[in-house]
Chains A and B, each alone.
Chain A
Amino acid sequence: MGNHISLLLVVVPLIAAPLVAVLPRGRLPWAVSFAVSVVCAVFAGIQLWSVLQGGVISYELGGWAPPWGIEYRIDAVNAFVALIVAVIAALTLPYALHSAEREIPEEKIPTFYSALLLCLTGLLGITQTGDIFNVFVFLEISSLSSYALISLGKSRQAFTSSYQYLIMGTIGATFYLIGVGLLYSQTGTLNMQDMANILPSVLHLNTVVTGFTFIMVGIALKLALFPLHLWLPNAYTYAPTVVTVFLAATATKVAVYVMLRILFTVFPQTFTIATPADELFILAGMAGVLSASVYAIYQKNIKRLLAYSSVAQIGYMALGIGFATTTGLMATLIHLFNHALMKGALFMAIGAIIYRIDSCRIDQIHGLGRAMPWTFGAIVIGGLSLVGVPGTAGFISKWYLVTAALEQSAWIPVAVILIGSLLAVVYVGKLIEALYFKPLTDNGKVVSEAPLMLLVPTWGLVLANIYFGLDTDLTVGVAEQAAAILAGGLKP
């Protein structure tokens, strides 16, 4: 099989998606999707392992040699991101069974799984491909399917927020496409590697600079980088919880990956640093961390609170990109992974509460911590990881991020990162206080612990938060290699 794995990673969910849509109702669509996600996770694991062992994988689609054919080119960077996406999918699907049955009308369940698999296809495709136009195609596959997924939400706001995301997402994708077009006009190639070779000779052209700018803005929209994040809180709040879990842990991560690729592989790093892009990332990152964290504190809906927290976390990743050093990129990649773990765990735990009480307003969850001790425990540990308490994955992210900032003597970002952690203490504390100390709202309902099918994946992620806070061989090790690839010419 060998290198075919890289292709199968995309093809398997792609073929399964329409299949699932026509399967009879019941649990069969779920079972097939789950099997597909597990297969993908295994493939992604093997792929990362073989990349770490044997270096870059180059797969020529249909046997057409690059730069004419489409090339899948996998190094430690995208193998790492692909693994994150696939593993989160494999953990989300067991969770999806009950949660989706509760939140999505029965007749739409096969469609739901079909869209979820398409979204997975798109996200994995982005990570696999080495072709800059192909990225656009997969970006659209994942985006269109996620608009559909979000619109499946129970409340009517789901439609408007899906529509809002559709508009913003399409603008982003269009910007990206315009940028790609401009670059193509000057380089005559769409293969990233090839483009990277040609670009240095045409960098002085305004067309190239314009193309670069269009691409940056387009992806920043997809990434929900402050201040282009406005679609995200609504989308995360009104989507079905499973969708929120999946998107929060994967979609923005993949966009960060594309950003890194363009900034550090396609364009020469000297160019990236010469443009104001890196300074802008630091500015947007700091503004995002502070403003989104403050917004999070004042939210009354838990999902929205966590959504704003996600915007803040993206700010941290942007900071790492902006530092444009090996350590900074390492911090971004580590946080990419760790944030998927913590937000995944938190949204899953919130989903368990929604499953029981059918609401995610903070004033409705009073005192539930005692009725649902395992769910509460998951929120506490996930929250601590979000704050960055030592012994959790979040701490490792913060450690590298602050180290990167200190290397540059960038004192203001250091202060912002630490203040961001303090603000996280406040909003996580608000959740915990409501769950634990407020008296139980007495509406005659007896709330019991969430079913095992929801708890097991949740706690899988919770334990991963602790594990990767203590043993970082995988995260730090891979991130180090990946950052070295990205930052080849940068100062260490």
Chain B
Amino acid sequence: MSAETLLLTILLLPLAGAAGIIITRRNPDVREGVTLLCSALIAVLVVVLANRFMDGETFALTLIEPVPGIAISFEIEALGMLFALIAGILWLVTSIYAIGYMRGHNEQNQTRFFAAFAVSIAATMGIAFSANLLTLFLFYELLTLSTYPLVTHAGTPEAKQGGRVYLGILLGTSIALFLLGILVTWSLTGRVDFEAGGILAGHIDPAWAGLLYALFLFGIGKAAVMPFHRWLPAAMVAPTPVSALLHAVAVVKAGVFTILKVTIYIFGSDFILSNDVTGGLIWMAAATILIASMVAMTKDNLKARLAYSTVSQLSYIVLGAMLASKAGLIGASMHIAMHAFAKITLFFAAGAIFVAWHKKKVSELNGLGRAMPVTFTAFFIGTLSIIGLPPFGGMWSKWYLALGAVETTQLLLLAVLMISSLLNIIYLLPIPIRAFFSKPESGEHYTEIAEAPKSILLAMVITSTACIILFFYPDPFYRLASLAVGGY
């Protein structure tokens, strides 16, 4: 397949899948077959693409030019490849999981669910491959809109309220701040292309650059930097596969990915470092890391706790981006991957607990480990990877992030990272410990093993194993991350 065809196929296949899902809505088995086939193809294609990309092939494609000078165009660079690779592989795993979950839970409107899911993946791929800010913005908004029916899936007043917050914050910040940032960039430089080394240097007074960076930082609401994080906990009303793939991987990672892209390819790390563009803003990320961790501790609802944990972890990536040193950027990029595998495992487990035992709260989990050993083992592995202990993948990204803080002699930030790891231990580790070692609540007896459906288990086993493999073999992600920052 030629480079262009391959790129276009990856963008269009999920859309074709969505159409196929709608056409085959009368027969759920065929419909799920379409989902699986599509996601499997995408997984294979992104791996093929990644291999060819690392062999030095270039991929670029321009569709049309809505505004003279700015085209809807795609170009693969290392960071986007990394993001697409994760999203593509995890869509397959999540599809396996989702089918078990949606059936095990007898959800309504499954056709709409799977179709919207496929469209969201197409939007995610569009974001990953964008060659300029306008294209990225187009798919960014498409992702917001296509995930809206997923968030409000349940149709309950709670889901509607969640959807309102979700749409309000994501659309609001993107239109009021992100778009403004893009337009300011455009009016300063006359272009919005992503380019190695950045395009802003020499076009903007360094004193104002911090303000422009703030427009991007807060305008990209998907990165959930406080105070624009409320949408993420609100989105937890969605069915768990959505929370798992979209609100631990695709949507939120699209946010931090965009921030990384803007940092590396619009501002340029040299420009940021030499002018101290992010000096004050970096504390917003640091504060988000700590505050979100502390809020997570207070949450008894398991998904809410995981959501705040995600908010905190996302700011690791934002912080790495704003450090703008090579180690910091590599750590941030790798954390996209490492956190994805770990957090999706945790959400998978939360969904499994819900499907098998209809439990949502941490305080109800005492002793449940005896009934669901696989689930809680996976949860345990995910937890350790999030905390950043060896031998789990999460260690590498934290290592480079810490190195970045040392490199720029921001020792206070190093302290933030370390404290946050401690906080992770406090709010995550008790969950599997409770499940394995505490006595069950009165009236509950966990004598037999009663796990969730097999497809759910399979998905969890895959992602938790990946957390371990990524410790020993982080190479593909490391290579892509270091390529993105121009070699380390």
Cross-chain contact A391 with B142 (CB below 8 angstroms)? yes
Cross-chain contact A437 with B152 (CB below 8 angstroms)? yes
A470's contact among B72, B141, B176, B179, by CB below 8 Å, is which? B72
Give Cα distance in the complex from A407 to B183, angstroms: 10
Given A418-B176, A425-B168, A472-B66, the answer on whether A390 and B138 have CB atoms closer than 8 Å is yes
Cross-chain contact B67 with A476 (CB below 8 angstroms)? yes
Cross-chain contact B180 with A418 (CB below 8 angstroms)? yes
B175's contact among A406, A425, A429, A437, by CB below 8 Å, is which? A425
Interface centre among A399, A433, A471 (most CB of B within 10 A): A399
Give Cα distance in the complex from A399 to B164, angstroms: 26
* B164 surroundings in chain A (CB, below 8 A): 429, 433
- Give the dominant DSSP class at A's interface: helix
Cross-chain contact B134 with A390 (CB below 8 angstroms)? yes
B160 within 8 A of A: yes
Give Cα distance in the complex from A419 to B177, angstroms: 10
A414 within 8 A of B: yes
A388 within 8 A of B: yes
B155 within 8 A of A: yes
Cross-chain contact A437 with B160 (CB below 8 angstroms)? yes
* A433 surroundings in chain B (CB, below 8 A): 160, 164
B interface size (C-beta, 8 A): 28
* B179 surroundings in chain A (CB, below 8 A): 398, 402, 418
A115 within 8 A of B: no
Cross-chain contact A469 with B66 (CB below 8 angstroms)? yes
Interface centre among A389, A390, A476 (most CB of B within 10 A): A390
B42 within 8 A of A: no
* B175 surroundings in chain A (CB, below 8 A): 387-388, 418, 421-422, 425
B27 within 8 A of A: no
B67's contact among A399, A425, A437, by CB below 8 Å, is which? A399
Give Cα distance in the complex from A414 to B184, angstroms: 10
Taken residue by residue from 160 to 179, chain B's Cβ proximity to chain A (1 for < 8 Å, 0 otherwise) reads as 10001001100110011001
B137 within 8 A of A: yes
A177 within 8 A of B: no
- The closest CB in chain B to the CB of A429 belongs to B167
* B228 surroundings in chain A (CB, below 8 A): none
Cross-chain contact A403 with B187 (CB below 8 angstroms)? yes
Give Cα distance in the complex from A387 to B171, angstroms: 10
Given A425-B168, A437-B160, A472-B67, the answer on whether A402 and B141 have CB atoms closer than 8 Å is no
- The closest CB in chain B to the CB of A399 belongs to B67
Give Cα distance in the complex from A388 to B66, angstroms: 14
* A471 surroundings in chain B (CB, below 8 A): 64, 66
Cross-chain contact B145 with A384 (CB below 8 angstroms)? yes
Taken residue by residue from 374 to 402, chain A's Cβ proximity to chain B (1 for < 8 Å, 0 otherwise) reads as 00000000001001111100001011101
- The closest CB in chain A to the CB of B134 belongs to A390
B141's contact among A391, A414, A437, A476, by CB below 8 Å, is which? A391
- The closest CB in chain B to the CB of A476 belongs to B68
B186 within 8 A of A: yes
Write the nearest CB–CB distance from B479 to chain A, whole angstroms.
33
Write the nearest CB–CB distance from A10 to chain B, whole angstroms.
34
Give Cα distance in the complex from A414 to B182, angstroms: 13
Give Cα distance in the complex from A429 to B138, angstroms: 19
Cross-chain contact B180 with A425 (CB below 8 angstroms)? no
Cross-chain contact B183 with A402 (CB below 8 angstroms)? yes
* B171 surroundings in chain A (CB, below 8 A): 387, 422, 425
Give Cα distance in the complex from A406 to B183, angstroms: 8
Write the nearest CB–CB distance from A408 to chain B, whole angstroms.
10
Give Cα distance in the complex from A391 to B155, angstroms: 28
Give Cα distance in the complex from A400 to B179, angstroms: 12
* A390 surroundings in chain B (CB, below 8 A): 134, 137-138, 141
CB proximity to B under 8 Å, residues A463-492: 469-472, 476
Cross-chain contact B187 with A407 (CB below 8 angstroms)? yes
A396's contact among B66, B141, B167, by CB below 8 Å, is which? B66
Cross-chain contact A470 with B64 (CB below 8 angstroms)? yes
Can you identify 23 A-B contacts, CB atoms within 8 angstroms?
A: A384-B145, A387-B175, A389-B141, A390-B137, A390-B138, A391-B141, A391-B142, A399-B67, A400-B67, A403-B186, A406-B183, A407-B187, A414-B183, A418-B176, A418-B179, A418-B180, A421-B175, A421-B176, A422-B171, A422-B176, A437-B160, A471-B64, A472-B67
Known: A419-B176, A476-B67; 10 extra A-B contacts, CB below 8 A, are: A384-B145, A390-B134, A390-B138, A418-B176, A421-B176, A433-B160, A433-B164, A437-B155, A470-B64, A471-B66
The 5 closest A-B pairs by CB, nearest first: A390-B138, A406-B187, A418-B176, A421-B175, A402-B183
